[in-house]
Amino acid sequence: MGWYKVFDAKFEIQDDDIKLCEKKPLDSYFLKFTKEFAIIKAIRDGYTATQIAKYLNLSKSAISKTYKQKVKLFEKLRDKGIFWSYSKNLNYEDAGEKLIIEYTLKYGDFDDIKLSLKLFGKRKLKKVWQESPKSDKSFIKTNLMIARVFFGMDVESD
């Protein structure tokens, strides 16, 4: 049992029966999810980046960036073992941006943090950092580096 995508159609196989899955209307994704998750879910359900871009009045490259780069970063981090306390099958949608950012700030390397800053934005990274990793005493040196290098803060080691 499972679903399979062939060209632009999605099929479900259950007990040797093959059934064409109907696509939900594109606007329904954006009513239930944040824009980024809606884009990812719509692409995984068979919509093209071009269709989504037209619906949102954005460029195709903006849609591709959201989907490809963020999911690729997440999968790279997951494969490195950064989400060690979660299932190995954890996916981008289930993890959520906050968890991805938090774990990147705690366990990612310099380049991972730099890419996260580019993809998620300084404001979002700083907000997540202030909510969790900043106050975690086991990450004092990392937090000093993040504050100084990525957020341009003038902080002392105490």
- The whole domain housing 111 covers 2-150
**In degrees rounded to 5, what are phi and psi of residue 110?**
-55, -45
Does 69 map to a domain? yes
Mean pLDDT along residues 29-42: 83
Nearest to 44 by CA among 59, 29, 57: 29
Which comes out higher in pLDDT, residue 36 or 91?
A: 91
Report the distance separating Cα 74 and Cα 97, nearest Å. Answer: 9
Question: Does residue 156 lie within any of the structural domains?
Answer: no
pLDDT exceeds 60 at position 29: yes
- DSSP secondary structure string, 96-110? HHHHHHHHHHHH--H
**What is the helix (H) or strand (E) element at residue 17, kind and residue range?**
strand 17-21
49 vs 157, residue with greater confidence: 49
Q: What is the pLDDT of the chain when averaged over all its residues? A: 84
Asked whether residue 43 is assigned to any structural domain, the reply reads yes
The stretch 84-88 carries a mean pLDDT of 87
Kindly state whether residue 33 falls inside one of the protein's structural domains.
yes
